[in-house]
Homo-oligomer: A and B are copies of this chain.
Amino acid sequence: MKTINIGILGFGVVGAGVAKLLIEKKQLLESRIGAVLNLKTIADIDTTTDRGIELGSTALVNDAKLIIKDPDIDIIVETIGGETIAKDFIFKALENKKHVVTANKALLAGFGNELVKTARHNQVDLGFEASCGGCMPIIKSLRESLVANDIQSMSAILNGTCNYILTKISKDGSAFDVALKDAQDLGFAEAEPSLDIDGYDTAHKLAILNSLAHGMEINLKDIHVEGIRNITPVDIEFAKSFGYTIKLLAIGKKHDDHVEARVHPTMISNSNPLSHVDKSMNAIAIEADATGRTMLYGHGAGMLPTASAVLSDIADIARNIISKTKRRVPILGYPEDNIKSIPILPMSELYTRYYLRFEAQDHPGVLSKISGILGENNISIKSVHQKGRQSNGKVRVVMITHIAKEAWVQAALARIEKTDSVVGDPVIIRIEEITQ
């Protein structure tokens, strides 16, 4: 039986998960793949901490070069994360003609196009199923299963930390800070949580998925990103009263000559299956012209769910090696020469529906003033909901608009803010409808 040698860079949570599966599932993997997947070497600066894994003949070294330059190693798994040393290591591994598997969405979103070029130049594979949606087979679905479909839209919950916090606020009425603290205590959120809660991690994943869905270059910088710091129990309660749920969604849509790519808190109807995706679970709903609506659901993070996705990439490359082929499926789903640069719609050009909440003075004429400014900016109001005077003397006014242009809404809100009718910043949450 052929032996395929593997090296892992980084022995943190994900690296340990990959090592655990390679070692403990050795027999299962052999019986499925028909080759020995031999974990030859792991490199980490910390070679002493016990990760609870019986390494056997696997070497643990503190120098990544011992993997990157090892002529016997076929596949290198990068689980360090981030864009500093991980970037150097991956480029060097590709240049040394190693197949690379990574879960590093930040790196792919920032430098994916260059990585794809380097992999092509060196005629090796680059796998990244674990970069988006954890164990869900979303990369494989876009590259292989949906091959005869034009992907019309994707809407996805791709960050377990944010989804946990939003679920906590929704179920318990907790304030954001309390829910964040709870998520940190339970290990769902990092001590420095901004990558997650400000939406950047979700945007990294959307940049990758949009590229695969539409055959476009990876473009992170033009994605509109808003996080969940300003979501309050008040808005979640209003949403509930309308039959809606608030989720941090990654939204990617294809139009004739551009795509939408945006990450922001979104109100979705409770008839949308994504509204039932709670706690730290992830899901992606895809609308495509042949399949109609499909959805994948699963753990988007965690040691073994992430490692399971890494192993699916390793198995793909191993099956290529024993089939004496490589680069059988294009890295971004289309052969590199067919990948286009497709512009992302500027946010100001977006048309959608809006939930707007104002803290208004309890004076006669205030409602008329707000709605008058909205009307002057072409914004048509579907419904108005006003709650009685609060202890601070203000009244809460919530308006749901018909479809309006983002630029109009922003212009109207800027004018409303300047009046003496409202206090504080208006709250704006976009509403996403499903088409079935």
**Among candidates B28, B136, B149, residue contacting A148 with C-beta atoms closer than 8 Å:** B28
Cβ of A307 and Cβ of B290 under 8 Å apart? yes
Roughly how many angstroms separate A333 CA and B28 CA in the complex, as a whole number? Answer: 12
A122 at the interface (CB under 8 A from B): no
A57 at the interface (CB under 8 A from B): no
Contact with B along A321-356 (1 / 0, CB 8 A): 001110011100111001000000000000000000
Roughly how many angstroms separate A297 CA and B141 CA in the complex, as a whole number? Answer: 13
Contact with B along A143-173 (1 / 0, CB 8 A): 0111111100000000000000000000000
Q: Tell me whether A291 and B308 are in contact in the complex, defined as CB-CB below 8 angstroms, given that A32-B334, A338-B31 are known contacts.
A: yes
For A288, give the chain B residue with the smallest CB separation.
B308
For A270, give the chain B residue with the smallest CB separation.
B276
Binds B, one of A240-248, A312-320, A408-416: A312-320
A298 at the interface (CB under 8 A from B): yes
Cβ of B148 and Cβ of A292 under 8 Å apart? no
Roughly how many angstroms separate A149 CA and B136 CA in the complex, as a whole number? Answer: 13
Cβ of A312 and Cβ of B146 under 8 Å apart? yes
A294 at the interface (CB under 8 A from B): yes
Dominant secondary structure at the A interface: mixed
Roughly how many angstroms separate A328 CA and B150 CA in the complex, as a whole number? Answer: 27
Q: Tell me whether A147 and B311 are in contact in the complex, defined as CB-CB below 8 angstroms, given that A292-B299, A294-B297 are known contacts.
A: yes
For A312, give the chain B residue with the smallest CB separation.
B145
Roughly how many angstroms separate A329 CA and B317 CA in the complex, as a whole number? Answer: 11
* Minimal beta-carbon separation of A286 from chain B (angstroms): 9
Known pairs A21-B290, A147-B312, A294-B298 / 19 extra A-B pairs, C-beta < 8 Å? A25-B148, A29-B147, A32-B215, A32-B333, A32-B334, A136-B294, A137-B144, A144-B315, A147-B315, A273-B297, A291-B304, A292-B299, A294-B297, A294-B299, A296-B296, A297-B297, A319-B328, A323-B328, A325-B328
- Shortest beta-carbon contacts, A-B, top 3: A148-B311, A294-B298, A135-B291
Q: Which residues of A contact B (CB under 8 A)?
A: 21, 25, 28-29, 31-34, 129, 135-137, 140-141, 144-150, 215, 273, 276, 288-299, 302, 304-305, 307-309, 311-312, 315-316, 319-320, 323-325, 328-330, 333-335, 338
